[in-house]
A and B are shown apart, each in its own frame.
Chain A
Amino acid sequence: MDTYYNPKDLAHFPDVGEEAPELWNKWLDWYNAVFAEGALSEREKALIALAVAHTVQCPYCIDAYSTACLEKGSDLEQMTEAIHVAAAIRGGSSLVHGVQMRNHVHKLSM
């Protein structure tokens, strides 16, 4: 199927490094360090990544971190709760800007 986001394209991600290998390697080192077991477990980091992937709506990240979450021992119930966290913050961030809206309205109103 011809689609703009082809799942097989994820395998070509490293090609992005071809024109700027130093920058690519710096990013890759940092990325690998970020996801290593630390104060947070690999499993917890994968759940955060899954939530963020849904927020930035990156299809590659959603596929990659859905798999990563399963591999690191999370189940569908936990993953669903993680994306609810993302959705709640996204929805909440719209709603909380109601304060700005109200500030502006109050300033203009008698």
Chain B
Amino acid sequence: MAKIIPTLVKQGHQLSKTETQRQILEDLPLRLFTEAVASTSHRPLRATGIEVLQINVGKRCNQTCQHCHVDAGPDRKEVMTREVLDACLNFLAQTDIPTLDITGGAPEMHPHFREIVERGSDLNRHVIDRCNLTITRLPNYSYLPEFLARHGVEIIASLPSYAPKQTDAQRGEGVFEDSILALQHLNQLGYGKEGTGLLLNLVTNPVGAFLPGNQKSLEVEWKRQLKGRYNIEFNNLYAITNMPISRYLDFLIRSDNLEAYMEKLVNAFNPATVDGLMCRTMLSVGWDGKLYDCDFNQMLKLGLGPKSPKTILEAKLEELMNRIIQIGQHCFGCTAGLGSS
């Protein structure tokens, strides 16, 4: 079992207030993201459609990772209600949005997780489970690997490093060992193996105040290392930049790295990444049904713009397709280097 730390909310930490987080980022004497985007052809930044409906079904998690932008953990109570859940799936049914992306917290801890997957799958949509891997090792959730395989669910799993020390430093003591066992089991079911159609993609993000390296180059090394050390295979590696919000923001402040990290993100702004930003093709739904441009905006409570619907209960596709994206200083996290979203 992973070692658990109290969430920022549980601690009553000042960073549990999203306005405080946004203010800290805005107060840094750096170029504004609004100005950086305006320097490209995107004035304003707009959505181009919806390819992915991402639903955040709650903030409960069996882990308390040091960098978690959700501030998820076992002590969080927020969970998507039946009404909101039905509204999400009805919205999906009424549209041709091809992908249902289920996230949390540990989304599998939602009491109706199985139903969500089944209904998404029945609608012939591509279903993604953002899985922390260790959840599949807990007795109540041991059904998950076979269940996910049966429904052809793509697994996007977090694993910051192929070495135990770094993984446990970020995700909690003992997480690495359980993650490896989970990956080996998924491989046995065909996940990550060529020709099975069962996609197993890994996400790595830096264990510290630095940016991720070249994704392609890292993927080659990761495949070599995981195969050699643990006989594990996977499809793709996504190297993701840590977003300077929530628990990672707390780490940056505590370690006196905030200013240098933000400077690095701002200096690495790459105009070529703006076209492909995930917020332009996604709709993110919070546990309470509120709508956002992405999961990061959701965690900062930066809702959709004034002319857009505010909740999934009133959502109409045509009012969302070309909406203006809400942006802030944290958005530099998605535009640094080769981009990260």
Taking Cβ atoms with an 8 Å cutoff, the residues of A that contact B are 37, 41-43, 67, 70-73, 75-77
Contacts and interface: CB of A to CB of B under 8 A. Distances in A.
Nearest to B221: A73
B214 A72 contact: yes
Interface stretch (B36-44, B104-112, B158-166): B158-166
A23 B295 CA distance: 47
A77 B165 contact: yes
Does more than half of chain A's interface fall in helix, strand or loop, or is it mixed?
A: helix
A73 B163 contact: no
B213 A73 contact: yes
A16 to B, nearest CB: 19
B214 A37 contact: yes
Contacts of B28: none
Contact of A43 (B161, B163, B165, B213): B213
Contacts, number: 37
B211 interface: yes
Does more than half of chain B's interface fall in helix, strand or loop, or is it mixed?
A: loop
Contact of B212 (A42, A43, A71): A71
Contacts of B211: 71
B213 A75 contact: no
A71 B210 contact: yes
- State the 3 A-B residue pairs at the shortest beta-carbon distance, nearest first: A72-B213, A71-B213, A73-B218
Contacts of A72: 213-214, 217-218
B165 A42 contact: no
B190 interface: no
Nearest to B337: A71
Contacts of A77: 163, 165
Interface of B: 161, 163, 165-166, 206, 208, 210-214, 217-218, 220-222
Contacts of B213: 42-43, 71-73
Contact of B220 (A41, A67, A70, A76): A41
A67 B210 contact: yes
9 contacts: A41-B217, A43-B221, A70-B208, A71-B211, A73-B217, A75-B165, A75-B166, A76-B165, A77-B165
A59 to B, nearest CB: 16
A37 B213 CA distance: 12
A43 B220 CA distance: 11
Contacts of A75: 161, 163, 165-166
Contacts of A73: 213, 217-218, 221-222
A39 B311 CA distance: 52
Contacts of A76: 165
A95 to B, nearest CB: 33
B13 to A, nearest CB: 27
Contacts of B165: 75-77
A93 to B, nearest CB: 31
A5 to B, nearest CB: 16
A35 to B, nearest CB: 11
A41 B213 CA distance: 12
Contacts of A70: 206, 208, 210
A71 B215 CA distance: 10
A37 B217 CA distance: 8
